[in-house]
Amino acid sequence: MSLPLILVLCTGNSCRSHLAEGLLQRALGPGYVVASAGSQPAGYVHPLAIRAMAEVGIGLSEHTSKHLDEFLTREVETVITVCGNANQVCPVFPGLRNRHHFPFPDPAHAAGTEDEQLAVFRQVRDAIAQVFGAYAAGRLDQAKSDRP
């Protein structure tokens, strides 16, 4: 039996979805596979997303920006969209059982100095950590109660 695949989607797959992927994978642990993709991938992971996550001990430097089409032939148990555009264009994936929308502002649009922009990435990271931490806790509690 394969591990449940949770796919986090946003438009560019450069910031929010990677933040969520890293935080959710850490919160859920090895019993789940978390991946991220975008409807219009930017082709890179934003350097400030990498920095913000490194501050909390999660490495994104090996992450790549992927198109959601890469997952259309895989069994995706749960899809979570983190922006309105991805929510609107989200296709149906094989095996999909759960669908959630948790929107967050795009830190890539932050203005100001690099330090001011990094502060926005941290704010979005922390907001995602709060929401996805609660989601993970619920999933793990449900998994415990599902055991015989």
Residue with tokens 């203005």: 111
Catalytic residue selected from 5, 8, 9, 10: 10
Q: Please give, one letter per residue, the 3-state secondary structure of 46-78.
A: CHHHHHHHHCCCCCCCCCCCCEHHHHCCCCCCE
Q: Does residue 23 contact residue 135 with C-beta atoms inside 8 Å?
A: no
Task: Report the C-alpha gap between 29 and 47 in whole angstroms.
Answer: 25
Known catalytic residue at 15: no
Among 27, 11, 108, which residue's Cα sits nearest to residue 66? 11
Catalytic residue selected from 48, 50, 53, 83: 83
Residue 49 corresponds to which amino acid? A
Catalytic residue selected from 27, 53, 90, 118: 90
Residues labelled as active-site residues: 10, 83, 90
